[in-house]
Amino acid sequence: MGSLNESMSATSGLRRDHEVIMKVLSAMDLLRMLLRQGREVPVDIIRDTIDFAKNFTDRCHHGKEEDVLFPALNAAGMPRDEGPIAVMLREHRQGREILERIEGALARYMQGSSSIDEVMGGIEDYTMLMQHHIFKENNILFNMADMVLAGRRDELNQGYSRIEREVMRERHGYYERMADDLLGRMNAMR
């Protein structure tokens, strides 16, 4: 945490998103663990985690970073093609690729042409990538952003709100509730 009060920072909303995302990553980790144990997990839970990851994590949260935060950091002198921004963008792309892989594996599993192992492997890759990604953002990139962009906090927060309206179409709360529900369902299955 930087020296700024988090509730007053340029990244406080992004950090709150991370808290919601971490709930689903925890649910995905429990899902993977149960599948590895050979336990039956309703397919709708896997579909919901994919839906959440594609819409809340990628389209909304990563959209806020890619369309608002990263351009502001770039304008403040942080290069986009190297360093922290380049690493984050690469990891966003990797996350999208893994989600496509999970979706394909789930479709093949549902058709009976693949085992659940492929789905489990994708879930494991995704959770590991995103947990490390969030750690780097929370502990490195966001602290830098809070220092460099402190004077642009209101402008950035307006940009984040615009992304939520345009991308989520008032479904931000729906996905926050979904995160709680997924984690609760997975914990109940333990």
Q: What is the pLDDT of residues 92-147, one digit of tens each?
A: 999 999 999 999 999 999 999 988 999 999 999 999 999 999 999 999 999 999 99
Mean pLDDT in residue range 11-20: 96
83: left (phi over 0), alpha (psi -120 to 50) or beta: left
Dist CA 38 CA 172 (whole Å) = 33
> What is the C-alpha end-to-end distance of the chain, expressed in Å?
33
In CATH terms, is domain 10-189 a member of 3.90.550.10? no
90 has pLDDT over 60: yes
- Which amino acid is present at 5? N
Mean pLDDT in residue range 164-174: 89
Q: Domain boundaries in the chain?
A: 10-189
Report pLDDT for 7.
Answer: 55
Cα–Cα distances (Å) from 56 to 25, 65, 133, 159, 160, in that order, read 12, 13, 16, 16, 13
5 has pLDDT over 70: no
When pLDDT is cut at 50, 70 and 90, the band that residue 2 belongs to is very low
Is residue 96 within a helix (H) or strand (E), and if so which, with residue range? helix 83-110
Q: What are the tens digits of pLDDT across the range 26-38? A: 999 999 999 999 9
3 has pLDDT over 90: no
